[in-house]
Amino acid sequence: MIGKRIGGRYEIEQKIGEGGMAIVYRARDTLLNRTVALKVLRSQFGNDDDFVARFHREAQAAASLSHPHVVNIYDIGQEDDMYYIVMEYVEGMTLKQYINEHAPLDVKEAVDIAIQICDALDHAHQNELIHRDIKPHNILINKFRRIKVTDFGIARAVSSVTITHTGSVLGSVHYFSPEQAKGIAAGAKSDLYSLGVVLYEMLTGELPFSGDSPISVALKHLQEPYVRPRKLRPEIPQSVENIIARAMAKEPMYRYESAREMLEDLRTCLTSERRSEAPYVLPEKYAPEEDPEITRVIPAIKPEMLRKRSWDEEEGHTIREIPAVSAAEKAPVQEEEEETEERARPVPWKKAIGWTGGILLFFVLVGASIFYGFSWLGVPPDVVVPSVQNLPLEEARQKLEAVHLKPAIQEQFDNTVEAGHVIKQNPVANMPVKEGTEVQLIVSKGKPKATMPNFVGQNIDEIESQLAGKYKDYKIEKEPSEEQPAGTILRQTPAAGTEIVAGETEVRLVVSDGQDKVTMPNLVGLTEEEMKAKMERLGLRLQLERAPSYKPEGMVIEQSYRPDNRLERGTWVRVTVSSGLPEEARRVKEEVDVYLNPGEKANIEIKVTDATGENKTIENYTITQSIKFQIPVVLSPSKDALIQVYKDGQLYQEKQVRYSDFQ
C-alpha cells in the first residue's frame, strides 16, 4: 500500500498502526497539502451490506463533532472493495502505549487526562453520539500531553458484524461495561464506566479485571468486585477513588447521570477541600470489596441439594460441589432406618385413625393456604412495588413498608430533585416482587455542595479565572490599603469554609487598591508655578525636565502619566516644561497697514496662525483713523505664518509670511 494513491488524492506514506477492524496509515492529502491519518477497514467488513450502510451513518455522525479533544474526521470513501476514513493526523502515541511506558501515572496527570477524555465524551453525548469502545487504544496523546479521542461511533457499526480477531475483542472487553458484557445496548453511562476503568489503569498500572479469555473477563465485570485503587496505591486521594467507584458501579443507576456531572467532579477532586472526603459507599451488593477472597457464609447443603447451584453461585461466587455419598457409607444408615421402621409399624386401628387425621389436616391446610396465601409455609406472597419516585423519603418509606417491602437508602447529590426526595427506585414501580424484597432508593442530598475556598491573601489576577462561570455571580470592590499590595484580596463573602451551592452563590471580594491613591490631573498647558502647586497638593513627587518648544517658555508641554490615572501618593511624575523656542525657529515682526476713510470708525481683529498655534487673536480693538500694526509671528522649517485682518467682522486683509524668506 505504501506509495499508493487512494481516492485520487491521499498518497500513503507509512503504516502507523493496526487493530481488529482497520489498518492505519500516515498519508499526504495532495489536494490540501496536509498530513492525514488514513484508516483502511479490513476486507471482512466490506462484505456485509448492513455494516456498510451503518458504517456510513455512524462515520457521518462522528464527522459532525467539533471539539479540541476529538479527532476530526475529514472524509470517508470507497475504492473498489476497500472502505476508508480520512482523519486528523495526531503526532504522538496511543494512551495505551503511554501507560505501558509510564504507569502508574502521577495522580494530577491521570486526572488531567481523564478530564480531557470526559470533556470529549460530554460534547459527543450532547450531540447524541455514544462511543461504545472507550479504551486507551482509542485515545491519542500528543507530545504536549494533550488528548484526542478517536473512533467515535465506529464501534456501533462494528457491532453489527462478527469480530473474529481475538486480540481486538480481548483488548476491548477489559473496558466493557457490565451491560455491554450482557449484550445490552450501550448508552452514555457505558462510556463513563469505561472511562472509570481507564482512570483505574492510569493510576495503578493494572486493569481491574483480567482473565484468559474474553468471556472470563466479561463475567468478572458482571459479577466480581475489584481491588480498590487505594489498596494498590495508598497515596491516591479518596476523592479520586470515589470517582472511580461511582463511574464503575455495576448498576448504571448508581453511576454519574452524565459526562458533565463526572467532568465537574474530576475538575474539583484534587482541591484541598476534597482530598480527604468520606468514601463513596455503594449498596453492599455492588460495592468493590477490599479482599476478593473474602470468606462467605454458605447454608448447609442437604443430600437432596447435592450438585445444585446456590443463589450465591448465580451471583458469580463458585461453590464447591459436595460429592455424592457412597453406597458403602449409606448402608449402615439404611439398616438402622429399617429396624426403626419395623419397631414403629402401627397396628391396624391406629393406622385408620392416622389416615383420618391426615385427611382432615390436609383440608385445613388447603383452606388456610387459600385464605391466607402461602406465607405461613415460608413462601412470601407477591406484592406490586408502589411508585415512590420524587416523594419525600419518609412518605416513600411508609408506602413501601405498607406492602411489606424493605427500603434501602443510598444518598447522592442531584441538581434537579429536592433534598430528601427520591430520585430513583429499583425495582421500578408496578413490578411484582415477593414480600420482604429490598427496594433500593436513591435519595437526593440536594444540589452538590462545596466548601468555599479561602481567597484572602491571593492576587485577584490569579484567581479571577476560577470565578467566571463557577459561581452565580462575583463582584470585586477596591479599597486603599497601607499594608497589602494592590490586587491582594482583603476580605470575601461567603467566608472560607462555608458550605455553598456554587451555582447559587454570589461572591463578593474586597481587593486592595494599594496605598491611598490620587487621580493624576492634566498638567499640559499650565505654567510651571501652577503645575508645582498642584503636584504638591496631591502629594506627588516632581521630576522636572526642560526642552525647547514652540509653546511659551515655562509652559508644561508633557507629563509621564496620562490624566485620570490612579497613582499612589509619593509617586514620581516626570513633567517637561518649555525652555523656549528651538534654534531653528524664527521670531519676526510683520507690518500690517489698515486704512480708514476720514471720519470712519471700525473694529479691527487680527488673527495669527504660526508655529506656536492656530488662529490666535493678537489684536482686537476699535480704531478711528488709519494705523500700522507690528504683528509678531514665529516661523519653523515646517510651519509658515498666516496673518488675517478682520474689519467689522469681515476679512479685510490676509498676508503670508514664509520661513524661507528669513534663511
Nearest to 89 by CA among 4, 25, 10: 25
Sequence-distant contacts of 244-248: CB under 8 A, at least 24 apart: 244/196, 244/199, 244/200, 244/203, 245/279, 245/280, 245/282, 245/287, 245/288, 246/196, 246/280, 247/192, 247/193, 247/195, 247/196, 247/199, 248/193, 248/196, 248/197, 248/200, 248/208, 248/288
Q: Check if the beta carbon of residue 52 is closer than 8 Å to that of residue 83.
A: yes
Measured CA to CA, the distance from residue 75 to residue 63 in angstroms comes to: 8
Nearest to 580 by CA among 557, 609, 559, 551: 551
> Which residues, 6+ apart, have CB-to-CB distance to 144 below 8 Å?
none
Instruction: Map grid coordinates 475504492 to a residue.
Output: 79
**Could you give the residue ranges of the DSSP H alpha helices within 373-487?**
393-402, 460-467
* Omega within 30 of 0 (cis) for the link into 427: yes
Q: Check if the beta carbon of residue 152 is closer than 8 Å to that of residue 62.
A: yes
Nearest to 157 by CA among 23, 17, 60, 19: 60
- Mark the binding-site residues for ATP, compressed into ranges: 39
Q: Has 49 been annotated as catalytic? A: no
Q: Are strands 139-142 and 147-149 parallel, antiparallel or unpaired?
A: antiparallel
C-alpha cell at 515: 496605598
C-alpha cell at 184: 445490552
Measured CA to CA, the distance from residue 389 to residue 401 in angstroms comes to: 15
Instruction: Map grid coordinates 459479577 to a residue.
Output: 223
At 269 the three-state DSSP class reads coil
Q: Check if the beta carbon of residue 604 is closer than 8 Å to that of residue 646.
A: yes
From the candidates 29, 133, 265, 513, which is the catalytic residue?
133
Helix 259-268 vs helix 238-247: crossing angle, to nearest 10:
170
C-alpha cell at 305: 441439594
Instruction: Map grid coordinates 503504516 to a residue.
Output: 15
- Mark the binding-site residues, compressed into ranges: 39
- Show which residues are catalytic: 133
